[in-house]
Every structure is written in structure tokens, then in C-alpha cells.
Amino acid sequence: MSTVTAVVALALALTSQYPEAVWPGYRHDSRNTGRSAFKGPGNPAEKWSIEGEWSEYLAVDRHGKLIIHRSTAVFAYDRNGNVAWKFANDADGPTIRADNQWYADDGDFLFLVSDSGQLVWKRAVDAGSYSFAGPSVGKDDSAILVLWPGIGFPDHYYVVSVNGTGATNWKDRFEAKMGGVAVGLDGTVYFPKIDGSSLFALHPDTGKIKWTYEHSATNFWYPPVVGDDGSVFLSTSQGIHVVTPEGKLKNVLMEGFNTSVASLGADGTIVSYVSKDDADVVAVYPDGTVKWGIKLLEGDSGFSGAPVVDAEGTVYLSENTGKGSTAGYLWAVSSDGNLKWTRVFGGPGGTPNTERRVGPAVIGDCNMLYFLFDYYKLYALGEAGDGGPVDCGFPEFDGGPEDSIDGGADGGNDAVSDNRTNDAEDAGVPADGNGADWDLADIGAAADAQADIISAPGCGCAQVGA
């Protein structure tokens, strides 16, 4: 273990906080990489679950607390499923900044909230508009919002940048539906035109268009992804277009196939769902060489969300099952394309949705994995065999209300603990498989990510070190 690694490991052991959030928000970061610096569970078991009305946006803060919107408030849950604090506003998001404060919005207001659940400020969002996909964090910790028109209002769409004090930096109007945004290494704001063939790049300081990339395929609502070298990955109906930071086409990956929003591995691989007969998840190298492919789905079903990748390169995938189904699936695929495990969730009951949806998953610390089933049940999975409650070997952070609840306006915890089950039987059945069902000749050899793993004692927490 290097000196730097040892020092960081010791620091993690002495405090219960990390320098930055574990999973800051949707797709992990504002580049939408879907890549975590922490490991997920190798042999997962259910640690706890809570029923309720949930938003699909989850974040994990620097203390390892899961932040999620439930019903009419935002809650923070510790690793054991206990309420740490409550922000009593019907705000969606959340997206955590580098200073560990976080943004959320409720359609009428944009909020900045401290990492202990206290309101810092709020400002009105434009009347007649609502935020699409929640706020993203832009240059200098600004909030980037894509605003869609409300019912009965003019068909105008806006991209807005709000600075750290709540003032507007800039605002641009567009006449077409815009998808989610990605923020580049230099703060450039990227977003696609939905059902169109354009990718826009906006200057981070002025909001003016830097360039527009046009192509002949069709965009979806998926946000772009920004790579470690600044390349922009745009998922389309005909493959993933790789665009340079200057707006020039660099390559087309998985050309000719429907693709989802991509996730990036630490070894440079790009992982995406594809519409192929012999593989529905594929990992390729930046030059387009296929690393591996695997077939997971059968029949009337599809993937939900997008893949997420942990520190070891394991890819977690979830299913949106066909109509009439009573269960959903969560898979883990190794960095070389082999199926590590399968878990099945659900059954009769739950919400009356005609389709059952799992995920997408969010990776926490201490080998924790969080996800929603059908929007009505929140699951926490951890490593099997380490007991019910999760003990990371960390003393609680002395500075946050770990054992109290900020009741806010309604002064209560909404009886959350009454619905929590820590001793639930593992609902899944492990499955073995060799995956790698891709039949093309250009499958490349698996490449292992080169990274130090920093482990804190007593927990199996792992973070990629410098």
C-alpha cells in the first residue's frame, strides 16, 4: 500500500465522511458517466426496504446517507435505513455540489440545501415552466436547469444557469424539446434535441451556442455523456456518436443499433444497451473494438435507466419487465462480461402499474446498492453475511444530526421506520453464467482498470485512489 493510500485509508477510518459525495446525483456526476469510485456488493443480500411513493432520483452524500424524495419531502437515510434528517419540501433532485450542499426543485422553486437538510436559499423558477430531469451542477457550482412549458403555456423551452447565491447567470430559449444536460470538463453545457438530430454546446459563462452538431439518426431524451478526454457520447437510434469538444464527429460506436445512455468504465470502455439479437448489453473500447457482449433479456421486457459501473468495473443493470409481469430483475456483470449474479424482486401486489420496473441502481459506500422497485419500494442491498444493520467501522460524524430528525414544517418523520424491514429474506436467486454471448470476431481482450483500492477497516468500503 502506498503512503498516500495509507494516509487516506487512515483518514477514512477516523471520520465518517468523505471529501465529496459518494454518488452526487443522477448518473453519478454532471458528466453523466454512471461510474462510481466505490465497489458494489459481490454477493448481495437485502439489508432493508421501505415502501412509499418515491422519486427515481437518488443521491448518496459524503456521510454515506441516501438522499431521496418521498411523498412530500426529501429524506436522508443512514446505511441501516434510519431517518437522519428530513427536508420538508416537495422537492425533486437531489444533486450534490462539490461543497456538499445540494440542489433540488419542486417545479415552482429551486432550492439549495445544506448537507444536514437545512434550507440555504430558494428562488422561483419561471412561471409556467417545470424542470426536466432536475438540476445539474455546472461551472463554479452553478445549477443548470432545462425548463419545459407547463400545460397551457407557450411552447418554449429554456436552459438556465443559476449561480451559487440564486441569481441567474444566463437564460436561453429554444423552440424544440431538449433532453437532459451534461457538463464538460471546462463547464460547457451539452444537450440533445429530443426526436431530432442535433447536439448543442453552450458556453458556460454566457450560455451562447458554441456549436451545433447535426447527424442523420434520431436522438432520445437521454443526456449526453462526457468522457475523461472531453469527448461527448451521444446515444441515438443508430449508435453512439462520439463528438470532439470542438463539435466534430470522431467515431460512431455500435453503429446501426438502438443505444441507451452510455456508462464509462475506468479502463476507457463504453457500456450501453443495444437492440441486437445475440446481445443486449455491450462494452466497447474507444476505437469501437468490442470488449464483450451479453444477452440478458427475453420476451416483452426492456432495460430501465442505464448501466452503472463500480470501482472494479462491475456493471449493474436493471429491467423494466413486460406487461403482466409481477417481478423485476437486477444483474451484475463482471468487467470481462461474465454474469456474476442475478436477483429477482417483486411479486403480486404493489402499485397497479401494468409494467414492473427495477432501478436504476445507485452505488453507495460499504458495498451498498440502492434502487427502487416499481416506484413503491426502496431496497438497500449489501454484502451477504455481514449481519442486518450495516457497520462500516466508522464513528458517527460529530457535526450532523445523526440521531435526530429535522421535522421541518410538519415536525415528524412520517412514520418511515414503521415500514422498514431489516430481516427480510433475500428475494433473489443467484445465477451463474458465462455471459459474453457476442458472436462478432472483434471482441477484444478484457482490460483491467489500474487503480489503487482504498479500504477502510471493518466495512469493505472501497474507493479508487489517486
Return the pLDDT at 329.
Answer: 81
Q: CA 337 to CA 93: how far, in whole Å?
A: 32
Three cell numbers, residue 425: 429474506
Q: What is the CATH number of the domain that holds 352?
A: 2.130.10.10
Output the furthest CA–CA distance in the chain (Å, rounded): 62
- What pLDDT is stored for residue 368 in this prediction? 95
- Residue 435's pLDDT is 30
Q: Please state, in angstroms and as integers, the Cα–Cα distance from residue 216 to each residue in 181, 198, 213, 290, 459, following that order.
A: 21, 9, 11, 24, 49
Closest CA to 371 of 320, 314, 312: 320
19, pLDDT greater than 50:
yes
pLDDT tens for residues 386-424?
655 555 544 333 332 232 233 333 333 333 333 334 333
- Name the residue among 365, 274, 264, 362 with its Cα closest to residue 313: 264
User: Cα 387–115–364 angle (5° rounding)?
Assistant: 35
d(CA 162, CA 120): 14
Confidence band for 463, pLDDT divided at 50, 70 and 90: very low
Handedness of CA 241, 243, 247, 249 (dihedral sign): negative
The tens digit of pLDDT for each residue in 170-193 reads 999 887 788 889 999 999 999 998
Q: In this structure, what C-alpha cell is assigned to residue 283?
A: 462494452
Name the 3-class secondary structure at 453. strand
pLDDT tens readout for residues 141-155: 999 998 887 776 777
H or E segment at 7?
A: helix 3-14
Q: What single DSSP character describes residue 125?
A: P
- φ, ψ of residue 378 to 5 degrees: the values are -95, 125
* Nine-digit cell string for 177: 424539446
Tell me the mean pLDDT in the region 217-230: 87
- Structural domain boundaries, residue 400: 3-465
Domains of the chain: total = 1
- Of residues 431 and 132, more confidently modeled: 132
> Is residue 5 classed as helix, strand or coil in its secondary structure?
helix
C-alpha 114/C-alpha 121 separation (Å) is 10
Strand partners, 171: 160
Q: What is the mean pLDDT of the chain?
A: 76
Residues facing 327 on adjacent strands: 346
Determine the straight-line distance between the first and last CA of the chain, rounded to whole angstroms.
12
Alpha-helical runs (H) found in 307-379: none
Residues 228 and 208: beta-carbon distance below 8 Å: no
Model pLDDT, residue 397: 33
What is the C-alpha to C-alpha distance for residues 298 and 463, in angstroms, rounded to an integer?
A: 35
Q: HEC string of 182-203?
A: EECCCCCEEEEECCCCEEEEEC
**Does the pLDDT at position 425 exceed 90?**
no
The whole-angstrom separation of Cα 341 and Cα 328 is: 14
Q: Tell me the β-bridge partners of 46.
A: 381
CA dihedral over 285, 288, 291, 295, signed as positive or negative = positive
Radius of gyration of the chain (CA): 21
Say if CB 120 and CB 113 are below 8 A apart. yes
Q: Give the Cα separation of 300 and 320 in Å (integer).
A: 9
Quick check: 239 pLDDT over 60?
A: yes
Of residues 176 and 8, the one with the higher pLDDT is 176
Give pTM, 2 decimals.
0.80
Least Cα distance to 259 among 228, 303, 200, 193 occurs for 303
Tens-digit pLDDT profile for residues 324-360: 556 678 899 999 999 999 988 765 544 444 455 666 7
Distance CA(147)–CA(143), nearest Å, equals 12
- The mean per-residue pLDDT over the stretch 10-28 comes to 73
Contacts of 193 (CB under 8 A, 6+ apart): 174, 176, 177, 178, 179, 199, 200, 219
For residue 310, which of 244, 383, 251, 372 has the smallest C-alpha distance?
383
Q: Are 325 and 317 a contacting pair, CB within 8 Å? A: no
Interval 47-105: pLDDT, tens: 999 887 777 789 999 999 999 988 788 999 999 999 999 998 888 779 999 999 999 98
Q: What is the bridge-based pairing of β-strands 109-113 and 102-105?
A: antiparallel
Looking at residue 435, its amino acid is G
Find the mean pLDDT for residues 26-52.
Answer: 92
pLDDT grade, residue 134 (50/70/90)? Answer: confident
